[in-house]
Amino acid sequence: MSHLKRDKSKLVSRLRRIKGQVEGVERALDAETDCGEILRQIASIRGAITGLTNEVLEEHIRSHVINAPTASEREKSATEVIQILKSYIK
């Protein structure tokens, strides 16, 4: 994952925001906030996770599939992406 090092602080910041959103849902549940508001917060978290996933996945494809030095490495990385996507789409 050395290719992620250049964006590490950006990715960590995104994760911290997501963590804050999750903690916000916990506080909302404790405060017995309206279900609609909680669902909106959960939808926001899902969107944030999807955005983070897309960013890391794109970088993975660019670094390990498109720019892999050999055909066998491209094949291995492409198979890995397929497996990840299958588990993500479930």
Q: Tens digit of pLDDT for each residue in 65-78?
A: 998 889 999 999 99
Domain assignment present for residue 46? The answer is yes
Query: Is the confidence at residue 1, as pLDDT, over 60?
Result: no
Q: Which pLDDT does position 3 carry in this prediction? A: 61
CATH number of the domain residue 37 falls in? 1.20.58.1000
Domain assignment present for residue 1? The answer is no
Domain assignment present for residue 41? The answer is yes
What is the span of the domain harbouring residue 40?
10-89
Condensed to tens digits (0 to 9), the pLDDT of residues 11-68 reads 999 999 999 999 999 999 999 999 999 999 999 999 999 999 998 888 889 888 998 8
Domain assignment present for residue 2? The answer is no
CB 57 within 8 A of CB 81: yes
Domain assignment present for residue 84? The answer is yes
Return the number of other C-beta atoms located less than 10 Å from residue 84's C-beta: 14
Q: Specify the number of domains making up the chain.
A: 1
Query: Is the confidence at residue 6, as pLDDT, over 90?
Result: no
Domain assignment present for residue 74? The answer is yes
Quickly state the pLDDT bin for 88 (edges 50, 70, 90): confident
